[in-house]
Amino acid sequence: MERSPSDITRLLLDLSRGAPEAFDRLLPVVYGELKVLAGAQLRRERPDHTLSPTALVHEAFLRLVDQQAVSWEGRSHFFGIAARAMRQILVDHARRRTAKKRGRQHQVTLSTDPAIATPIPDDEILGVDEALGRLAEVDPRQARLVELRYFAGLSIEQAADVVGVSVATVKRDWVLARAFLQRELTRA
Partner 1 sequence: MSLSPDRWRIIRGVFADLAELSGPERERRLAEITFNDPGLRTEIEALLVAADQVGDRFERAPMLDDDGDQPSVAIGERVGPYRVIREIGQGGMGTVYEAHRDEGGFHKRVALKMVARGRDSDAILRRFRYERQILARLEHRNIAALLDGGLTESGQPYFAMEYVEGERIDHYCRDRRLGVRDRLQLFRQVCSAVHYAHQNLVVHRDLKPSNILVGSDGTVKLLDFGIAKLLDPDEADDQLTQTGLTPMTTAYASPEQLAGDPVTTASDIYSLGVLLYEILAGRGPFPTGDVPVLEIRRRRLESLPLPPSRAVTAEMASLHSEPTARRLQRVLEGELDNIVLMALRKEPERRYPTVESMSDDLLRFLAGLPIQATPDSLGYRVGRMIRRNRLAVAAASLAIVAVLAGAAASLWQAGIARAERDRAEHERQKAEQVTEFFRSVFLAASPLKLGRDVTVVEAIDAAVPRIDSAFAGPDRLWLKTALQSTLSTTFFEMGLPVKALPLAEAALRARATLDSGRVTLDGANQVYDLAGVEYSLGHLVRAESLFRRSVAMYEALPGFDPTELARVWGQVAMLAGSQGRHAEAIDIQKRTIDLLRARVPPTDRSLRVALINYGADLTEVGRLSEGERSLREAALLVETTVGASHDDMAAALQPLAVNLMYAGNLAAAESVARRAHGILVRSRGPDNTATLVALRALMNVLVEQNRCQDAMGLARGVIALRERGLPETDLSLGSAYLVLGECLGRNGQARDGVVAVREALRLRLAVLPPTHWAVAYGRSVLGEVLVRAGKVVEGRALLDQAYHEMTTALGPDNPRSRQARARQERWGLAS
Site residues (vs partner 1, CB under 8 A):
3, 5, 35-40, 42-45, 47, 49-56, 58-59, 61-63, 89-90, 93-94, 96, 100, 110, 117, 119-120, 124-125, 128, 134, 137-139, 142, 146, 149-153, 171-173, 175-183, 186
The helix or strand, by DSSP H or E, that contains position 92, with its residue range, turns out to be helix 72-103
The least distance separating partner 1 from the CB of residue 18, rounded to whole angstroms, comes to 27
The least distance separating partner 1 from the CB of residue 73, rounded to whole angstroms, comes to 18
The least distance separating partner 1 from the CB of residue 53, rounded to whole angstroms, comes to 5
* Distance (Å, whole) CA 186 – CA 134: 15
Closer to partner 1 by Cβ: residue 3 or 17: 3
Q: Which amino acid is at 58?
A: H
The least distance separating partner 1 from the CB of residue 20, rounded to whole angstroms, comes to 23
Are 86 and 57 in contact by the 8 Å Cβ rule? The answer is: yes
In angstroms, the first-to-last Cα distance of the chain is 40
Q: Is 182 left (phi over 0), alpha (psi -120 to 50) or beta?
A: alpha
Closer to partner 1 by Cβ: residue 26 or 86: 86
